[in-house]
Structure 1
């Protein structure tokens, strides 16, 4: 799920647990976190990746990138190369991430490093819409040694290439035997939520809620659940899920959309988001193009501008949420050429999505 983002995040490693404490990150805390593991680059970078996943604050990616660049080991340590690829993916440098991960998968003699590189690479290919390649990589996973990871991968690909109901049933059956303490429990619950949403099944919010119950810091599950309630008109639930997250663009945008749909046209949050996105556009930052496109389409009523950002985002990221957004923006902007391009791509993949059938 997430460049690490977008799709639900694959755990960066199985050797540490995410904290259950929700953090409000200040500049002082960020600096303190950066210096926590001064003598251990790998631990420091892992912690910074975790902090980024819990806060969506891109500064932590910058700190991680700097730490890797300043480390003499970063070009030789396989674990650091994998972490560098995770940072690259989070920064939307997919080509660099793909090259590093492919090299590790081909050459690593460490089972743990190989597995981590392979699972991250599979996620990257799925996010990029390269399903055939993802399937080939998925086949390298051992059913005996990695049954849950393999089942998750197979279900995602099956759902995205024509049979979400079958993918859901198979993965749901496997997940019932999975302990909540398993490192991939959150990831699999999020996958089940995504497939249920795609297939139009009523179980999507149940799975996202289970993911949040296991890890309250998981922004992917929180965002997906808030978005589901938004589209269901449950604005009170949107408010409760997003209220303390105005610094997280994707959650703040959902809250602003809920405000707009309740008849509010100018709120402090809407003004804050406008200033934030204006600054991002001035910096030419593409990290949150999806969030900006959603804001422009559903809050600012600027479909043509939304289409530009949604299309640029879709060039790299082809998760369901990206495709849905692009089609909605193209329809709102009356751009039949882009609508036809995206629907032709979906047909070529065999992909269908209950969430956009009413838009097409």
Structure 2
């Protein structure tokens, strides 16, 4: 797996909406948890790597390669159990007397997937002290800072990434951070120009197209946003994050039937199940009640484990499906304390307005003023909250 693909996989992992299911760490690498629809080529590669690693258990590079493949599968299938496999493989190289920077970066990816951002940052800082020339570490650092709404720190990490990475990944990282800090229009233009001049691989272009679509949405360029989404889908690379953001776009434009077509059979990933359920609700489909009950069960299971870190989508479900305004607002406030992406700002604004508690939206209002975040989708909600 070359460095560009490592960077792309890292971004996709960081952008993927986490499942409500916690990662399970298997006791044995041979343990069969479930037969998943893994492509034949991927299955063959995993089998070969496992055989090689069993024959050479101390081979660090083999363990890293297999851990990266597990993380990529966890992301593409939205199955946290693969993260558990990866973490088990990495343990030998995460002991105090044997810390390896690449292993620390991969563990930071796993920690971020659990929304344990502070622990992820700690691992990344140690990794970069051991080796400051790690593109994946800088990209991962930028992603964590961006999720937390610390755009200046994200930009600094992207600029460091540019010293050790190819032009397009660095351009995507830099313009993503700038687009969230009051420079959406120039960032959009610069990134679109960078993409036009490059013939990247499908994963790299998926990353670029999704970022462009999101910036276009925030700039209220609906037709351009849809064009970028369609280009990303046409590349044929499975991405839960792409399907999630495109579904949200279609729901915003009152096109729930297209969401059903896009997400046909997509019930494994909780983020996609939620969008599917919201579309079924609008169309009054008979599957709506079944899927809504399934989401309730998954939320209840997460709470029984003490898992409270996936509250953005839970708030949206409670607000729009269960119609419980007060609970939705509490969830949105709790979620905002952990992460501050535009979607997190939106659900807090929606919940505050619906619950008729506009003061609860003050943290978002102040945040947008301080960061100069531009998002056309939030403006009507901001007016209602301020009013």
Query: Structure 2 length normalisation: TM-score?
Result: 0.80
1:20 corresponds to: none
In structure 2, relative to structure 1, the CA distance for the partners of 1:66 and 1:333 (3 Å cut) is: farther
In structure 2, relative to structure 1, the CA distance for the partners of 1:51 and 1:204 (3 Å cut) is: same
2:101 corresponds to: 78
Residue 268 of structure 2: SS of its match in structure 1? coil
Shift of 1:56: 1.3
For the Cα contact (< 8 Å) 2:124–2:141, is it kept in 1? yes
Residue 184 of structure 1: SS of its match in structure 2? helix
1:88 corresponds to: 111
1:14 corresponds to: none
Which of 294, 308, 311 is the matching residue for 1:286? 308
Which of 125, 130, 146 is the matching residue for 1:107? 130
1:258 corresponds to: 279
Can you give the 5+ residue segments of structure 1 that lack an aligned partner in the other structure? 9-25
Cα displacement string for residues 295-330 of structure 1 (whole angstroms, at most 9, x for unaligned residues): 111111112222222222222221111111121112
1:303 corresponds to: 325
Select between 164-173 and 255-264 the one with higher mean Cα deviation. Answer: 255-264
2:269 corresponds to: 248
1:29 aligns with 2:29: no
Residue 179 of structure 2: SS of its match in structure 1? helix
More helix by share: 2
1:338 aligns with 2:360: yes
- Inter-partner Cα distance in structure 2 for 1:233 and 1:60: 35
In structure 2, relative to structure 1, the CA distance for the partners of 1:255 and 1:169 (3 Å cut) is: same
Residue 318 of structure 1: SS of its match in structure 2? coil
For the Cα contact (< 8 Å) 2:220–2:376, is it kept in 1? yes
Can you give the 5+ residue segments of structure 2 that lack an aligned partner in the other structure? 1-10, 19-31, 54-61, 383-387
In structure 2, relative to structure 1, the CA distance for the partners of 1:284 and 1:301 (3 Å cut) is: same
1:154 aligns with 2:174: yes
Cα displacement string for residues 144-194 of structure 1 (whole angstroms, at most 9, x for unaligned residues): 953212322222222211121221111111111121416522211111011
Select between 122-131 and 298-307 the one with higher mean Cα deviation. Answer: 298-307
1:193 corresponds to: 213
Select between 146-155 and 45-54 the one with higher mean Cα deviation. Answer: 146-155
Residue 89 of structure 2: SS of its match in structure 1? helix
Cα displacement string for residues 47-95 of structure 1 (whole angstroms, at most 9, x for unaligned residues): 22111111212222223223323x2466422221111111111111111
Cα displacement string for residues 220-243 of structure 1 (whole angstroms, at most 9, x for unaligned residues): 111111111111111221001112
1:227 aligns with 2:233: no
Shift of 1:201: 0.7
- Inter-partner Cα distance in structure 2 for 1:97 and 1:156: 20
Query: Structure 1 length normalisation: TM-score?
Result: 0.86
- Inter-partner Cα distance in structure 1 for 2:113 and 2:94: 21
Cα displacement string for residues 231-257 of structure 1 (whole angstroms, at most 9, x for unaligned residues): 111122100111211111111111111
In structure 2, relative to structure 1, the CA distance for the partners of 1:211 and 1:106 (3 Å cut) is: farther
- Inter-partner Cα distance in structure 2 for 1:182 and 1:241: 19
The root-mean-square deviation of aligned C-alpha atoms, in Å, is: 2.6
Aligned length: 338
Select between 223-232 and 266-275 the one with higher mean Cα deviation. Answer: 266-275
Shift of 1:108: 0.9
In structure 2, relative to structure 1, the CA distance for the partners of 1:157 and 1:312 (3 Å cut) is: same
- Inter-partner Cα distance in structure 2 for 1:311 and 1:63: 33
Shift of 1:277: 1.5
- Inter-partner Cα distance in structure 2 for 1:125 and 1:86: 13
1:357 aligns with 2:379: yes
- Inter-partner Cα distance in structure 2 for 1:57 and 1:125: 24
2:147 corresponds to: 127
- Inter-partner Cα distance in structure 1 for 2:313 and 2:12: 13
